[in-house]
Amino acid sequence: MTTPAPYLLALLLLLPDWRVEACTAHVFPAERCRVRAFLESGTVCGVERLADGDVKYASFRGVPYAKQPLGELRFKELEPAEPWDYHFATDEGPVCYQHDVLYGRLMRPQGMSESCIHANIHVPMEALPDQHPDVTLPGLPILVFIHGGGFGFGSGDADLHGPEYLVSKKVIVITFNYRLNVFGFLSMNTTAIPGNGGLRDQVTLLRWVQRNARAFGGDPTDVTLAGQSAGAVAAHLLSLSPAAEGLFRRAILMSGTATSPFYSASPAYAQLVRNMYLQFLGITSTDPEDIQRQLIELPAERLNAAHTKLIDQMGLVTFGPTVESPLPGVTTIIDDDPEALLNKGRGKNIPLIVGYTNSECETFRNRFEAFDLIKKIASQSILVVPPKLLFATPQESLSNLVSRMFGRYFNGKINMDGFVKSCSEGFYEYPALKLAQKRAELDGTPVYLYQFTFDSPTSVIKEVMGLSYQGAAHIEDLTYVFKANSVLEGREGAAQSLEDLRMKNFMTDLIVQFMACSKPICDDKQSLWPEDNGNQIEVIEAPGVLRTNSRSPSQLDVLDFFDSLHSRVNAV
């Protein structure tokens, strides 16, 4: 005989506490967990949200994709996540320890912690397997996106990387956090702290996606890896690394490549930054084991405070990816200089979209001014040389590089406009053009190269940075692929102009089609976007407008100038 409901409630109230807790743990989570996926670690409970066009999607935020790197695990390769029964993934977790010197109100972090190893998975509702328990679905293509931030700050949160645009077009979007700055990229060149920890986190995430893709309706054989700025550098590095082989099929690089000169992969650079950092911490030991012990014992807040001093002294980029020595028990990510790996043909079978904007470094103008960069260059002229070249050039040859940079960009007087131009051309335009040229020479799979020049009067970046300039700057193309919720939700009146909405649809269409067929335009009967032959570029200047150009005289000039600088270094 069935117990009447009122008597059941009374019985529950009379049970010992442990029995009430057991009932709560096994009954109520299932009731609250109506949007769920069954991962290898346990059940995750998300929420239903609305994307563009009121498309419903399942959003799982703050999902641990590995064990949190606490205590002795601080610098080690990530270990598998500990199992759970139910994990409520309704909110993003804290961001990784950092000192933000760029994003400002583009970011709205929910705290900061070493317990930051989380992924955010966004799935069109109809693709979620739990919605169709008796049907085997084919699995949707997956976009895994690596956030930027100079390897030192940023996050995968929806404040800047809102999935609403893309997920409405029937793809799965995954963003995530990885260890940053000293926590993710300190290199002692030892088995305990080998360097490139942040890149290993990214490989761990990609392996996790392979194991769990089916659980949230994805196709593990159809992963596209993308990134912006330092995230694009990381994505390209992973395409050159055996450690990530088979984990993704194609890649999208927005304003960054493995050879971007705004960082140096030289072990000499890694050693210099490490020594500067240890001085800020007051660690004077030269014994690697003793240094590691002290770094493990110090609280994370102390490590972060020391890094804040370091980045305020260096400007934008401190620790970063570095070439590794083979070490026992360590997964090598970068086994040679990225330039050498490209020349060997590494990654040439991975289709690429490579893009940059026409006014990249305007985004950094405020930071450069706050950093008093022009005064620093006046007193230390080698600061005008890109870091990659700076650490690849013998001391006796630096004066020639300095002289040539001054001659091209300053016309006799050091000024901010000249440095912003040198930054845009040297850090972003040249490496994008060079990568496309190199891939054409290697006869690899297609590269699709674009320059984003859309000059929006309602630009998110111009609004946040308080700047006025012509064209599009760093991060600007990203805001038409991901929704900048931190800004758009707070705008009075219309959040976006009609032109912005059209550009958003245009850019996301290119991304989704590339995910579907490894071409930005799948039904390209008229060669609207031909693959690059080393001499072509698509200019995206207005919504729906693609202009196929040969390299312009100014682009050829940029290639010639920086080729000559690099050839002088390589000839030494």
- The CA distance from 458 to 542, in Å, is 14
How do 118-124 and 172-176 pair as beta strands? antiparallel
- The CA distance from 320 to 199, in Å, is 10
Closest CA to 446 of 326, 513, 534, 376: 534
Q: Please provide the size of the chain in residues.
A: 572
- The CA distance from 386 to 193, in Å, is 27
Hey, what are 26's tokens?
């096994």
Hey, what are 441's tokens?
């020479």
- The CA distance from 419 to 16, in Å, is 72
Hey, what are 161's tokens?
């990387």
Verify whether residue 122 is a known catalytic residue: no
Pick the catalytic residue from 229, 255, 359, 518: 229
The residues, ordered by sequence, that sit 6+ positions from 227 with a Cβ below 8 Å of its Cβ are 145, 146, 147, 148, 233, 234, 235, 236, 252, 253, 254, 256
By the 10 Å C-beta count (0-12 exposed, 13-18 middle, 19+ buried), 18 is classed as exposed
Pick the catalytic residue from 474, 518, 531, 566: 474
The H or E element spanning position 545 is strand 545-550
Helix (H, G, I), strand (E, B), or coil: what is residue 176?
A: strand
Q: How many other C-beta atoms can be found within 10 angstroms of the C-beta atom of residue 170?
A: 15
| Tally of helices (H runs) and strands (E runs) in the chain | 20, 14
Q: What's the angle, vertex CA 233, arms to CA 373 and CA 390, rounded to 5?
A: 45
Which alpha helices (DSSP H) does 240-347 contain, by range?
267-281, 288-297, 300-314, 338-343
- The CA distance from 414 to 429, in Å, is 22
CB 384 within 8 A of CB 377: yes
Pick the catalytic residue from 114, 324, 360, 538: 360
Helix/strand/coil percentages in the chain, nearest 5: 45, 15, 40
How do 250-254 and 172-176 pair as beta strands? unpaired
Verify whether residue 229 is a known catalytic residue: yes
Q: What's the angle, vertex CA 322, arms to CA 317 and CA 328, rounded to 5?
A: 145
- The CA distance from 254 to 475, in Å, is 8
Hey, what are 435's tokens?
């990568």
Q: Look up residue 493 and give its DSSP letter.
A: S
User: Given its phi and psi angles, is residue 411 left (phi above 0), alpha (psi -120 to 50 degrees) or beta?
Assistant: left
**Structure-token match 């496309």, residue found:** 436
Verify whether residue 474 is a known catalytic residue: yes
Point out the residues that are catalytic: 229, 360, 474
